[in-house]
């Protein structure tokens, strides 16, 4: 899977497609990966990042947001 670039995310948001975002407070617990493995993966530093997809509907992102212990995930549209 490929991590989404800022440019790709901006393009999707420009098309009114909501894209999740993980901020720097991620502690790498991997809960989001367990819940929504199509959307999140851990990078080489053990931090979660968002995978490049055409859209994020129906991918359990809201459940991942709710499960994140440090509120690192949000929707940005």
Task: Select 10 or 27, whichever has its Cβ closest to ligand SF4.
Answer: 27
Residues making contact with ligand SF4 (CB under 6 A): 22, 26-32, 40, 48, 67-70, 72-73
Residue 7 CB neighbour total at 10 angstroms: 7
DSSP H helical ranges for 1-77: 6-14, 31-35, 61-67
Q: How far is the CB of 23 from ligand SF4 (least distance, A)?
A: 8
Which of 9, 4, 8 lies closest to 76 in space, CA to CA? 9
Least distance between ligand SF4 and beta carbon 48 (Å): 4
The distance of closest approach from Cβ of residue 77 to ligand SF4 in the complex, given in angstroms and rounded to an integer, is 18
């Amino acid at each position: 899977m490929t991590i989404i670039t800022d440019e790709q995310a901006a393009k999707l948001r420009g098309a009114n497609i909501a894209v999740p975002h993980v901020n720097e407070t991620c502690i790498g617990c991997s809960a989001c990966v367990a819940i929504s493995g199509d959307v999140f993966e851990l990078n080489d530093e053990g931090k979660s990042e968002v995978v490049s997809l055409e859209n994020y509907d129906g991918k359990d992102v809201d459940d991942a947001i709710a499960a994140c212990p440090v509120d690192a995930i949000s929707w940005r549209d």
